[in-house]
Amino acid sequence: MSNVNGKVLKHGTQTRTMHWIHLLAFIILGLTGIGFYWDIGGIASIFGGEANASLVHRWAGVVFVVGPLLYVLLNFDRFSRFMDSISHFSKDDFAWLKVMGGYLPFIKVDEVPPQDKYNAGQKILGWLIIIGCLLIILTGFPMWLWRHSVPAVFLAFCYNVHFWTAIILILLVAGHFFLAAIHPKSRVEFSSMMLDGYIDAQISAHHNAKWFAELKESP
Amino acid sequence: MKLFHESEGITRRQFFKGAGMLTVAAVISGVFAKFGFDVFAASDDYIAKRVAGLYTLDESMAIRKSHENPEIIQIYKDFLSPGKVECVSPKAHHLLHTKYGNDIPGFIAELKNPHLVHEAEPAANEETSTEEPAA
Amino acid sequence: MSTVLSDGVIHVSDDCKACDHCTFICPTGAISGVLGQKHHINPQKCINCGQCLINCPFNAIYDLSKVEELKKVLADSQKFVVVQEAPAVRVALGEEFGQAPGTNVKNKMYAALRKLGFDRVYDTEFTADLTIMEEGTELIHRVYGALGVAGFENVGPLPQFTSCCPAWIKYAEDNYPLVLPHISSAKSPQQMWGAVAKTYLAEKLNVNPANIFSVSVMPCTAKKYECERSEFIASGYQDVDLVITTRELAQMIKDAEIDFMGLADEEADRFVGLSTGAATIFGATGGVMEAALRTAYEILSGESLGKVEFDAVRGLDPVREATVEVPVKALGTSLPVSVCIVTGTKHVAEVIEDVLAGRSNYHFIEVMNCPGGCINGGGQPIRRDTY
C-alpha cells in the first residue's frame, strides 16, 4: 500500500465546522479567563474591561457547549464512529504508546504500529478533551447562573475545578496544535481538519493503515 | 484522481458507544448535581448545631431567668438604684440607655455636659457622628 | 479612631475573584461590582455585619483587626485589662480547636483569656441579663402606655424592637429613621457592660476607671463599629475600648501556643461575670425574646414559670411569630403578648413596613441581622462544611 494515489476525505464539513467553532470559543474563553483570573488588565481591556470580558467569557461558554452539542445531536453517526474509534484500544495502540508514536528523538523506531483513524495519542487526547469539557462546563454554569444561591464551599469547589481543568486543557490543546500544525512528521494533518478536509491517500495509508484498509473508493 | 471516504451509517457497536458516551455524560452531570445539592443541604448544618449548643447550655444552668441572677440584684441594690431593684432608675437610664439617629448629637452633648436641660440643645458641637444617616 | 466609623469594618481584598456571590448575601446592597469585576463595599451602606466575609468562597473579605493593638495593651502593666465574651463565642470557639459546632467551651475560654494576660475575665451574659431587666421593663412600660395606664403616657410606641444588634441599628438608622422610636432605648449588652465596667466595677475593685481597658470578644464584626460610636461615653470614657472576634481570639490563643482543649476549667470573675440560662440563649435567634418572656411573664404575673422554655419562639425560619398569654396581676387581666422574631436583615423590611403602616399588632419584635442569630455572626469561625 505504499504507492496509493489520490485523496482521502478525513473530516467532513460538519466536523470541521464544529472543530473551528469549538476552537475559536476555546481561544476566547482562554484569553478572557486568564485575563480576569490573573488580573492581566491588558487582556481584559481587549474585550472592553473586566466586566465585559466576563460577559464575553460566559457567552463564549454557551457557544463552547452548544457547538459540540448540536454536532453530536445532528451528526450522531459521526459522533458514534468517533467514540467507537477512540474507545477501542488494541495491541497496536499499546505498541504505539510504547514508542510514543516515534515522536521522541531518543526512542528509535523504524516503523510505528498500524493505527486506526486516530492513533493512540489522539485517542487519549480525545478522552481527555471530552472529560475536561464536561468538567469545565459542569463547573462553569453554576458559577454563572447559581452564583447567588449555591453555598460558598460549592462555589469555591467549582472555581478550583474550573481553573485546574482549564490549565490542563490549555496545555493539551497547545500540545495538540504543536503536533498537528508544526511538527514535521504530522503537520500534513493540518489541512484535513482546518481547511478542505482532505489528506493524501499515501499519508493516510501510512499513518492510519488500519483505517485506510476499511475505506471505500468513491465511484 | 481517486477519492476515498468512510462508509456512511453506523454499526450496532458504534451506536452503543455513541449512546453510551451521552449516557455517561448525563450520569456524570447527575452525580455532580447531587454533590452540589448535598453540599447545599449540609452547608448550613452548623447553625442549628451552634443553636442547639446554646439551648443545651441553658438547660445545664442553675439559674435560667435574668431577674434571678444574684449579681443583677446586687448591681441594682448597690449601684443603679441603691437599696432596691428598680429598673430604668435615673442612673440605669444614664448608663444603660441610648438614643439613635438624629438624636445622637444632642445626646452626646448631654452626656458631656450633664447640666444641660434634657434634649433642649440642638447639635451645636463638633462630635457629629459620621455614621449618622441623612434622615 | 474614626476609621471604623467612616471607612467601615469590612473590606474586600485584592484576592477577590469577582464571583459575585456576596452581592446576594449582603442585606443592604452595599457591595458594588458585577461578575468579572472586583467588588467594593460602600461603607455608608454597609452595616458591618460580616455575612459577606464568612460567606466569601475565596476568603477575600476581611475585617479590620485590632489584635496587634490588644497585644500591646496586654503587655502594658499600667493598664487594667478586663474582658467580656458574648454568649455565641462559647459554642463556636471550640471549632477552631477541632471541636464539633455547638460544643460548649465556656470554662476553657475563661482559662485561656487569663493565660493571655487579661487582668479580670467577666462575661457579657451578665449584661445580657441586665438588658432583659431594662429592655423588659421598657416593654412593660410601653404596653402600659398603649393600654392607657396613668403615668405611662410618654413611653414610646409599640411594637418595641430589640436593640442588641448593632448591624440592625445601623440598618434602621440608614434606611428607616421613622422606626427608630420603636427601638428599645436599652443599649446592647456589650455597651451596657462597657458602661458598667468603668463605673460600678471600677468602684467595686477600687481601680481608676482611666486605667481600665475594656475588651470585648464578640461573634460579630459590627460590634467593632458599635464600640467606636461616639455616643457610648456614658462612663466618662469610651465604654468599650476594643473588640476582637471569635476568630481573632482563637488566633491569639494559637499564637500564644496555649493547649486550649487541655486547659482546666475556670469560672468568670465576680460582680459582672455571673450568667444565667436566659442570657446564654441571647446568641441564638429567638433567644432575646425567650429570655425577655421568662422575666416579663414572672414579673407581670407574679407567678413562677413551670416550664421556662418557650418553644414557640424557637426555630430557624427567617420570620417567626407567636402569641403568649401573660396574666397581668396589676391589671387583673390576661394579656395576649404578640411577638415576632426576624433573623436576617433581608427579611426585616416587610416587618418594618407593616409597623410603619400600622398593620402590625405585635408588641415585641426581635431582630438579629445574621441568619440563625449571633452564633452565625460575621466574627465566628468560618465553616466550609460539605457533608
Q: Tell me the per-residue pLDDT of C132-178, one tens digit each, with 9 for 90 and over.
A: 999 999 999 999 899 888 888 888 898 999 999 999 999 999 999 99
Q: Which domain holds residue B43?
A: 12-59
pLDDT of residue A41: 66
Q: Which chains touch C (3 or more CB pairs under 8 A)?
A: A, B
Instruction: State yes or no: is C340 an active-site residue.
Output: no
How far off is chain A from C196, nearest CA to CA, in Å? 40
Residue C324: phi and psi, rounded to 5, are -120, 125
CA distance to A21, B68, B71, B82, C197, per residue, from B75 (Å): 78, 12, 6, 9, 11
Average pLDDT, chain A: 88
At B116, the pLDDT band (50, 70, 90 cuts) reads low
pLDDT per residue as tens digits for the range C62-102: 999 999 999 999 999 899 999 999 999 999 999 999 999 99
pLDDT of residue B124: 40
Instruction: State yes or no: is C366 an active-site residue.
Output: no
pLDDT per residue as tens digits for the range A9-23: 888 889 999 999 999
**Domain tally, chain C:** 1
Q: Rounded distance, CA C237 to CA C340, Å?
A: 36
* B85 occurs within a structural domain: no
Pick the CATH number of A92-219 from 1.20.950.20, 3.40.50.620, 3.30.1240.10, 1.20.58.110: 1.20.950.20
* B38 occurs within a structural domain: yes
pLDDT of residue C36: 86
C40 touches chain B (CB under 8 A): no
* B54 occurs within a structural domain: yes
pLDDT of residue B126: 38
pLDDT of residue B118: 44
CA distance to B48, B60, B62, C91, C280, per residue, from B53 (Å): 8, 11, 16, 6, 10
Mean per-residue pLDDT for C365-384? 94
Which residues in chain A have their CB less than 8 angstroms from residue C35's CB? 51, 54-55, 58, 144, 147
Task: Find the distance separating the first CA and the last CA of chain C, reported in whole Å.
Answer: 43
A206 touches chain B (CB under 8 A): no
Facing residue for A152 by CB, picked from C18, C23, C56 = C56
Instruction: State yes or no: is C32 an active-site residue.
Output: no
pLDDT exceeds cutoff 80 at B44: yes
* C378 occurs within a structural domain: no
Which residues in chain C have their CB less than 8 angstroms from residue A45's CB? none
Check if the interface score ipTM surpasses 0.90.
yes
At B127, the pLDDT band (50, 70, 90 cuts) reads very low
pLDDT exceeds cutoff 70 at A43: yes
Beta strands in B6-120 (DSSP E): none
Mean per-residue pLDDT for B26-35? 93
Output the CA angle C368-C369-C371, nearest 5 degrees.
Answer: 90
C138 touches chain B (CB under 8 A): yes
pLDDT of residue B51: 95
pLDDT exceeds cutoff 60 at B134: no
Q: Give the whole-number percent of chain B exceeding pLDDT 70.
A: 83
pLDDT of residue C2: 44
Cross-chain Cβ contact B88/C273 below 8 Å: no
Mean per-residue pLDDT for A71-88? 92
Helices (H), C307-363: 348-356
Tell whether the torsion through CA atoms of B111, B112, B116 and B122 is positive or negative. Answer: negative
Q: Which chains touch B (3 or more CB pairs under 8 A)?
A: A, C
Mean per-residue pLDDT for C101-130? 95
Helices (H), chain C: 3-7, 22-25, 51-54, 67-75, 87-90, 106-116, 124-147, 166-175, 189-196, 202-205, 222-226, 246-255, 277-280, 287-301, 348-356
At B6, the pLDDT band (50, 70, 90 cuts) reads confident
Range name among A26-30, C152-156, C251-255 with the lowest pLDDT average: C152-156
Average pLDDT, chain C: 92
* C252 occurs within a structural domain: no
Q: Which residue of C has its CA nearest to A146?
A: C21
Q: Which residue of A has its CA nearest to C22?
A: A148
pLDDT exceeds cutoff 90 at C305: no
Domain boundaries, chain A: 9-74, 92-219
Which residues in chain C have their CB less than 8 angstroms from residue B77's CB? none
Which residues in chain A have their CB less than 8 angstroms from residue B7's CB? 214, 216
* C312 occurs within a structural domain: no
Q: Which amino acid is at B14?
A: Q
Instruction: State yes or no: is C135 an active-site residue.
Output: yes
- What number of H helices and E strands is found in chain B? 5, 1
Catalytic hit among C95, C170, C184, C224: C184
How deeply is C128 buried, as exposed, middle or buried, from its count of CB atoms within 10 A (0-12, 13-18, 19+)?
Answer: buried
* B88 occurs within a structural domain: no
* B36 occurs within a structural domain: yes
Task: Find the distance separating the first CA and the last CA of chain A, reported in whole Å.
Answer: 20
Cis-peptide into C159, omega within 30 deg:
yes
Q: Give the whole-number percent of chain C exceeding pLDDT 70.
A: 99
pLDDT of residue B129: 38
pLDDT exceeds cutoff 50 at B121: no
Cross-chain Cβ contact A130/B21 below 8 Å: yes
pLDDT of residue B133: 39
Q: Which residue of C has its CA nearest to A44?
A: C36
pLDDT exceeds cutoff 90 at B114: no
How far off is chain C from A148, nearest CA to CA, in Å? 5
Cross-chain Cβ contact C173/B100 below 8 Å: yes
Cross-chain Cβ contact B97/C185 below 8 Å: yes
Touching B: A residues 139-168, CB under 8 Å = 142, 150-154, 157
Q: Rounded distance, CA C183 to CA C143, Å?
A: 14
Facing residue for A201 by CB, picked from B4, B7, B25 = B4
Q: Would you state the cell numbers that stand for residue A48, as one nine-digit string?
A: 472592553
At A219, the pLDDT band (50, 70, 90 cuts) reads low
pLDDT per residue as tens digits for the range C332-358: 888 899 999 999 999 999 999 999 999
At C331, the pLDDT band (50, 70, 90 cuts) reads confident
**Domain tally, chain B:** 1
Q: Give the whole-number percent of chain C exceeding pLDDT 90.
A: 83
Which residues in chain C have their CB less than 8 angstroms from residue A144's CB? 35
Q: What is the CATH number of the domain that holds C54?
A: 3.30.70.20
pLDDT per residue as tens digits for the range B58-95: 999 999 999 999 999 999 999 999 988 888 999 999 99
Q: Which residue of B has its CA nearest to A87?
A: B17
Whose cell is 528523538? That residue is A105
Range name among A151-155, A182-186, C364-368 with the lowest pLDDT average: A182-186
pLDDT per residue as tens digits for the range B98-110: 999 999 999 998 8
Which residues in chain A have their CB less than 8 angstroms from residue C55's CB? 151-152
Touching C: B residues 53-92, CB under 8 Å = 53-61, 63-72, 74-76, 78-80, 87-88, 92
3-state percent breakdown (helix, strand, coil) of chain A, nearest 5: 70, 5, 25
